[in-house]
Amino acid sequence: MPEIARFFGIVVRMYVDDHHPPHFHARHAGLEVAIAIEDLAVLRGRLSPRALALVVEWAAIHRSELEADWDLASAGLPLRRIEPLR
């Protein structure tokens, strides 16, 4: 699963050929969550409230880039790194 961003100890990845709806995975402190790109809803898993807030903030800023990476992943192409939250 390619890593597309890393910030504040949070690792964001996207599986190639993953199932719908379009989503990404974030991992922090041994916890993992899958988040829908369209509405940033948690599909499954959990993170601490602070880590989840950071991930949602980052994803809201980079939603179009996440959508582009999902399209690349669906086509079996290499994903692009996305600027971390600073």
The string of DSSP codes covering 37-64 is TTT--EEEE---HHHHHHHHHHHHHTHH
Q: How many domains does the chain have?
A: 1
Q: Is residue 67 part of a domain?
A: no
Q: For residue 50, what pLDDT is reported?
A: 98
Residue numbers in the chain where pLDDT is lower than 70 = none
Q: Is residue 32 part of a domain?
A: yes
**pTM of the predicted model, to two decimals?**
0.94
Q: For residue 17, what pLDDT is reported?
A: 74
**Pair of tokens at residue 45:** 């898993």
Domain hosting 2: range is 1-38
**Pair of tokens at residue 7:** 């910030």
Q: Is residue 55 part of a domain?
A: no
Nearest to 13 by CA among 45, 50, 48, 39: 45
